[in-house]
Amino acid sequence: MKIKQISVYQVDLPIQPISISGGRTFAGVDSTIVALETDENITGWGEACPLGATYLPAFALGVRAGIAEIAPHLIGEDPCRLSRINQTLERALAGHPYVKSAFDMACWDILGKSLNVPLCELFGGRINDELVLTHGVFIDTPAKMVADIEALRKNGYRYFTIKAGNAVEEDIERIRATHAAIQPGEILGVDANGGWLVHEATRVVRAVKDLDVYFEQPCSTYEECLKVRRQTDHPFILDESMDSLSAVLRGYHDDAMDAVVIKLAKVGGLSRARIIKDVCVELGIPIRVEESWGSAFVVAATAHLAHAVPVNRLFASYGEMTSLKTAEGAPVQANGRLKANNKPGLGLAPLLNVLGEPVVCYS
């Protein structure tokens, strides 16, 4: 089997306006979707969708510029030879893992379709039949954030991740107000998205040391987060700084975290995320599987990987991120849980009328 053409689509995804640390706000995202067509009439689909240009070292125009560098090197390659594909990606472009993630996802989709099995079966088999979801509660007044938690609870959510990382005193007020709204059996995480300086994060963890909350990526760098970790007994989750297997192993040996967040684009795609997943399972590190943003393609890919994580290792996953339907067959979300279908590959049928015409094709 050979890749004969690569088509690239650009889609603007509407999202509920959100606010995270540093005054960063987003009301929509620019997603890039790729279709890898083969000479055996199997097409694989992938997606890369950075959250703006200030969340991670990634941005939408960079995705399409990177695709222009990589795509010509993939024409004529066998998409099912994943190791060779990833070697080709590395040789074609240094760095920029978020660009490579879309290609890698599409190749896995082709492999699953060629074998007539859903992706989760290729990642170790479906262990989790339904995935527990977490949902972000974005920065606002304490009263509004409490109201958001109550609304999410009505939709079945029991794990809430409130955003923080602005003024320390305001963040402390938000944490105390939202914690007071948490019911027995529910989980509250505090995610600063790297927005605090070390001294600010230290003040916060000390001010709420009596509360049962998880802290997530309080500071920008791994080293800064580790300093805060060593000053608190709160459970810790690392996200943005966990961008490779070596980063996860370093965190494990430094006792820097209690759980990690695997984002496909952050680590370079499903191939690397699958390896990190397997290592975390072996080391006993709980995992949250998600992505920076995206539509049905991203949600399906993360769901399939999460389905292959043992129940006692999967901390949570993430569901719908846009109201725009880009494909039929997206994982079904209900009562705070998510479930991918059993169709081959990603299990999706792209809606070409929604995707529009390709912005560029390579052959």
Q: How does DSSP assign 231-276, residue by residue?
A: T--S-EEE-TT--SHHHHHHHHHTT--SEEEEEHHHHTSHHHHHHH
What's the CA gap between 76 and 74, in Å, rounded? 6
Selecting among 113, 163, 266, 277, the annotated active-site residue is: 163
Q: How many CB atoms lie within 10 A of CB 332?
A: 13
If you search the block for the tokens 């053409």, which residue do you land on?
Answer: 5
What's the CA gap between 201 and 170, in Å, rounded? 13
What's the CA gap between 308 and 314, in Å, rounded? 9
As to burial, measured by CB atoms within 10 angstroms (0-12 exposed, 13-18 middle, 19+ buried), residue 176 is middle
Tokens of 351: 């809606």
What's the CA gap between 217 and 208, in Å, rounded? 16
Distant-in-sequence, close-in-space partners of 214: CB < 8 Å, separation ≥ 6: 187, 188, 189, 190, 234, 235, 236, 237, 258, 259
Selecting among 113, 263, 266, 277, the annotated active-site residue is: 263
Query: In the annotation, is 163 catalytic?
Result: yes
As to burial, measured by CB atoms within 10 angstroms (0-12 exposed, 13-18 middle, 19+ buried), residue 81 is middle
If you search the block for the tokens 């292959």, which residue do you land on?
Answer: 308
Torsion sign (Cα): 192, 302, 318, 206 = negative
Query: In the annotation, is 2 catalytic?
Result: no
Residue positions annotated with a catalytic role: 163, 263
